[in-house]
Structure 1
Amino acid sequence: MNIEETENNSSETVQVIFKTNLPPKYQVPETPIDLPLNLSRFGLSEIITHLLGLEETKIFEFLLQNEFLRSSLGEMLLKLELTGEKIIELEYTNSLSAPEPLGQYNHDDWVSSVHCIKRKMRNTKNSKEANFFVTGCYDSFVRIWDIADQATPKIVIKGHSNAVKSVKWAKKDCNEYVLSGGMDQRIILWKIDHNLKMYSLVKEFHGHVSSIESISVSPNEKYFSSSSYDGSVLIWDLDSVIAKEKEREKEKEKEKEIEISKEDNEKKTKRKRVLNKFETESTIVPPRGQLKGHKQRVTCLKWKEQEFIYTSSTDHCLRKFDIEKGLAVWEQRTPNSILSFELGENSNKNYIISAHTDSAIRVWDERVSPKEQENNGLSRLSSIKAHKNWVTSISWRPKSQYHFASCGYDHTVKIWDFRSQTPSTMITKNKHTDKVLMIDWNDPNTLLSASADKKVKINKII
């Protein structure tokens, strides 16, 4: 681009200093440049490209006072009342490319939940890490998939008598487990063979009197919590259950070894085959605690650190519970029912992003006191009309300071920058044909989405 030609298109100019936190190869000298006020994001990108000496135009995002440029430079200055400024600082950063489809994984009914996991493969020289995910489906099955194999799941787990609403992977002392909760009011702990060929039912957890809506494992994986359509939030002891199960398995193996030694060779061979299967009896485990406060369906819950659990509900409340005290230490009333939420990361760790039935995403600051919330609404930083229908799930992009994804009943999946009220990009080539119920990142560049169209779709986002 010829900058002189651009300058001639407008008689009004402003002095701009470009700043960025990008790697050195994308940094330009921080010296004032006279630029026309009619330039927008694409014109500014061409100028950065010219200053960097790049052959092809690279599109950047631009921020002025931490707000994204979505109009001309002149209109933005008027909006922020910066027309009297002699020199303005304009920050630029990479923009997200359009998502590229990587495939899909077919199910037999609505896919309600998805949870991505990374596992180190045994019997490999470099302990290579492989990517897997677990899904919960309305056909009552839990499935474990290898991301590299879209044809068939590695394991199909049958145990629930109704739709599975939530699944979570847990790891303890080199053993791997899956927690699943369903509309049959049960939570089941499954032990997974590391070769992904066998599974066993370890324990059942009963305490809710309606559908299980959400499961969250504590950061140290000693406990997990669950929420229900009945408005209850229960806490369970995972550590002791697994420890007792290990002891019981050892005792059973010793007993079987003694029996085997008394049998002849033919019976011994038969008994060894039986011994290679996971055989555990289901016993019901009571909860170790309950968090009270919500009056309606508790749609989502998450642990933060080890001391706190955050919850959301259709009773229009976000809550933060102190687990030791068993009490809510922070509460935020919202305008509409909340279907999901996400806790901020890195420098945004004090923020909570909530997804609502009025198609909106809202951002809250938990440092603001209830009194300030009532007086001037400082706690809600923004309200974004994000979708055309219910917003069902939000997921923060791993290792990112600002990006998160959302999905909804309008069949769409969008990726947002925390600082913007318009999406950075959205999935169009690999779009779902029905309600999108949940999303989860496998890594910073790979996003999975589960839908009522009976598919989990995977997209690459850079």
Structure 2
Amino acid sequence: MDLIGAYSDDGAPSPSRSGDGTAALAVVSAAPEVRCGTCHARHFPLSSCISNGIYASSQVDASGYALVESKLVSQEDTKFFQGANTRMIRYNLPADQMHAPVQGPTHPSGRKADGGLSNHRTGHVEDSHLSSYAFDEQYNSFHSDGVAMDPSRPVAISLGPGVGAPPTQPQQKRQRTQQSKVAPAPVDLTQPFTLRTRQPWAEKAAFPEQELTEEHRAYLEKEEKAEKDAGSGKGETSIFHGKALEDYQGRSWLEAPRDLRDDSATSFLPKKHLHTWSGHTKGVNAIRFFPSTGHLLLSAGLDGKVKMWDVHNQRKCLRTYLGHTKGVRDAWFSNDGRKFVTTGYDKVIRLWDSETGAVLGKYGEGKMAYTVRFHPDDDKQNMLMAGMADKKILQMDTDTGDVVQSYDYHLGAVNTVTFIDEGRRFVSTSDDKTIRVWEFGIPVQIKYIADPAMHAISAVSVTPNKKWWCGQSMDNKIVTYSATDRVKPNTKKTFAGHNVAGYACEVSFSPDSRYVTSGDGEGKLFMWDWKTKKIARTIKAHEGVCIGSAWHPLETSRVATCGWDGLIKYWD
């Protein structure tokens, strides 16, 4: 009640009627002392010269004000006063100034909006759009550094003189550079979960080098010796496992039997398992039937061995080709079958003589090739195409060993090289999820196919009628493209249902183009009907990945499969 009595009814301060002003002094006793502008003495605000009946307030510093259009305004607000010729402003005016009268006093019966809109008891509140990123930035900056931006002015407001503005980008870059130069603190290796300054990747220097064991040294010496032997040609040999190199009539073991006949022009789905070839100690990556006759089967294994198997008679291994120091990635026959080419993970492409097992040439040493193909023309069997891991396609002459042409438009490792249009053009697929069409001998792409919905194609095969080619897409689908004049997708011929994501499972066709065949990552063999696109049959072929499949060229209802379990199986 003493506080209420210290003020008059109209809100102006007046001396207390009940006493000598002690109530007023009690009210302001908690305020700090200031120098009075009237008596020049230090006392509390609103209590100066009470004995004389004078109420003084704290001294006001008017040096920060400016006279604008006969008005005393703060220098911070002078930017809101514009000249008469101004047609554009570059900041947001407050609501009271936007709706204030142009000049003169406010009409007593005028609208309330003339003096400024008021939608809150404290004044006018405006809604403004602010992104969550900007709000979080200001919130974190204010609570961490004490600095925030004034919404009415493009300047930063600090809590005090000891708090600085946030560092700029160049300053932050210099700070990071200085921190990177500072040597990291030593790490206690006895603590397995010690936090390091750069999680989750620790400094390499934090772990001391360990001494190699005898087993490790022996392994490294073996690898170095194998690399030297691969470069010098040591270890390139072959082993013949048959009874004789020639029969009683002097014909080579490579010749096809005379009793081979084409069974039928119609292919039927295989139902039963006929035979299993076992001889590779690791997985089998590719299988190829001998051209035209199919009496022999070539297999490329991850154990670095290439084997030739008998298909027609006793179904035994006839010859083993040794030379690759690491796994063999791909193999391909020439048109007559007298030669074949292999590429391995030892980064060497080797050309072999099928009959003698001799190495006729080595190409692309030091560079990894994922696929190799001969030119399909009989007069260009010396031209070899290789899809490299360094994003290039190399055209090599096996007679001279030189690189004749290089195609380098791809942005990723080249997975496949497939000839179409009777060898005049070829199609390449890559890990960059694109398909490129080239003219043979011209290092400029003539067509480029790319789409955001496309996936990388890891294996490609052409239909026996040469009208289409199918690719193994990494989204568990087999896509179809035309192999004629215009290379365009056929969206109506898409085969799905298998799981091949991450595996380059080969696609094959029956000799009459009725069925499409592919393995999958679970060891199954899928067979689709070309017309209906439905799964016609599924066979559990291998334990693990079924990476390859091939139809016999003459026995049109038999299929060979290979897998990473090291086995080759024959189905009828």
The match for 2:478 is 361
Does the residue aligned with 1:380 lie in a helix, a strand or coil? coil
The equivalent of 1:343 in structure 2 is 462
Matches within 5 A, 1:371-390: 379-390=490-501
Instruction: Report which of the two structures shows the higher radius of gyration computed on alpha carbons.
Output: 2
Which whole-Å deviations, capped at 9, do the CAs of 1:350-379 have from their partners, x for residues lacking one? 433111222111223467979xx8xxxx75
Q: Distance in 2 between matches of 1:350 and 1:157?
A: 35
- Residue of structure 2 equivalent to 1:407: 519
With over 3 angstroms needed to count, the CA separation of the structure-2 counterparts of 1:204 and 1:293, relative to structure 1, is same
**CA contact 1:207–1:286 (8 Å) conserved in 2:** no
Counterpart residue type for residue 134 of structure 1: L
- Tell me if 1:231 matches 2:391: yes
Task: Tell me the distance in 2 between the aligned counterparts of 1:99 and 1:380.
Answer: 30
Aligned length: 296
Contact kept, 8 Å, 1:105 with 1:150, in 2: the verdict is: no
- Matching residue within 357, 373, 383 for 1:216: 373
TM-score scaled by length of structure 2: 0.48
**Alpha-carbon distance in structure 1 between the residues aligned to 2:388 and 2:532:** 33
Q: Quick check: 2:522–2:543 contact (8 Å CA) kept in 1?
A: no
Question: Identity percentage over the alignment?
Answer: 15
Long gaps (5+) in structure 2:
1-265
2:211 equivalent in structure 1: none
Structure holding more strand per residue: 1
1:248 — aligned with what? none
Paired residue for 2:543, among 430, 433, 447? 433
Matched AA of 2:567: K
User: What CA deviation, in whole Å up to 9, does each residue of 1:399-446 have, x standing for no partner?
Assistant: x13322111212111222222231222324xx2111011222222222
Q: Does the 8 Å CA contact 1:133/1:146 hold for their aligned counterparts?
A: yes
Q: Specify whether residues 309 and 359 from structure 1 end up closer, same or farther in structure 2 by C-alpha distance, changes over 3 A only.
A: same
Between stretches 407-416 and 361-370, larger displacement belongs to 361-370
Q: Does the aligned pair in 2 maintain the 1:213–1:228 contact within 8 Å?
A: yes
SS in structure 2 of the partner of residue 339 of structure 1 = strand
Matches within 5 A, 1:57-456: 96-106=268-278, 107-118=280-291, 131-148=295-312, 152-170=316-334, 176-193=338-355, 198-206=356-364, 209-210=367-368, 212-219=369-376, 220=378, 221-238=381-398, 240-241=399-400, 285-304=401-420, 305-333=422-450, 335-346=454-465, 349-365=466-482, 379-390=490-501, 392-398=505-511, 400-428=512-540, 431-443=541-553, 444-456=556-568
Q: CA deviation at 1:118?
A: 4.8
Q: Cα gap change, 1:396/1:331 in structure 2, threshold over 3 Å: closer, same or farther?
A: farther
Cα distance in 1 for residues equivalent to 2:508 and 2:313? 24
On the 8 A contact 1:207/1:287 being kept in 2, the answer is no
Post-superposition Cα deviations, 1:133-183, rounded to whole Å, max 9, x if no partner, equal 1111111111111114677421111111111011112256xx811211101
Contact 1:208/1:228, CA 8 A, preserved across alignment: no
1:330/1:366 contact within 8 Å kept: no
Deviations along 1:378-402, one digit per CA (max 9) or x if unpaired, are 753343323023361101222x133
Q: Structure 1 counterpart of 2:373, which letter?
A: S
User: Deviation of residue 97 (structure 1)?
Assistant: 4.1
The SS at the match of 1:302 is strand
Compute the RMSD of aligned alpha carbons. Answer: 2.6
Whole-angstrom distance in 2 between the partners of 1:136 and 1:181: 9
Judged with a 3 Å threshold, the aligned counterparts in structure 2 of structure 1 residues 388 and 333 are, in CA distance, closer, same or farther, namely same
Q: CA separation in 2, counterparts of 1:359 and 1:234?
A: 29
Look up the SS of the partner of 2:492 in the other structure: strand
The answer to which structure, 1 or 2, has the higher relative contact order (CA under 8 A, 6+ apart) is: 1
Local SS of the residue matching 2:411? coil
| Contact 1:186–1:204 (CA under 8 A) maintained in structure 2 | yes
- Partners of 1:179 and 1:366 in 2: CA distance: 25
Which residue of the partner structure matches residue 256 of structure 1?
none
Q: Is the contact made by 1:436 and 1:450 (CA closer than 8 Å) also made in structure 2?
A: yes
**Structure 2 match to 1:9:** none
User: Equivalents in 2 of 1:320, 1:207: separation in Å?
Assistant: 26
Name the CA distance, whole Å, in 1 between partners of 2:363 and 2:462: 27
**Residues in 2 aligned to 1:307 and 1:299: alpha-carbon distance in whole angstroms:** 20
| CA separation of 1:458 and 1:331: change in aligned 2, threshold 3 A | farther
Indicate how the Cα distance of structure 1 residues 358 and 208 shifts in structure 2: closer, same or farther if over 3 A, else same.
farther
Q: What's the offset of the Cα at 1:96?
A: 4.1
Q: Distance in 2 between matches of 1:150 and 1:112?
A: 23
TM-score by length of 1: 0.59
Compared CA separation, residues 307 and 95, structure 1 to 2 (3 A): closer
Give me the whole-angstrom Cα distance separating, in 1, the residues matched to 2:546 and 2:357: 29
Listed one character per residue, the Cα deviations across residues 58-105 of structure 1 (whole Å, up to 9, x for unaligned) are xxxxxxxxxxxxxxxxxxxxxxxxxxxxxxxxxxxx994452211111
Query: Could you tell me whether the CA contact under 8 Å between 1:360 and 1:387 is conserved in 2?
Result: yes
Alpha-carbon distance change, 367 to 225 in structure 1, aligned in 2, over 3 angstroms: closer
Q: Structure 1 stretches of 5 or more lacking a match?
A: 1-93, 120-128, 242-284
CA distance in 1: counterparts of 2:307 and 2:443, whole angstroms: 34
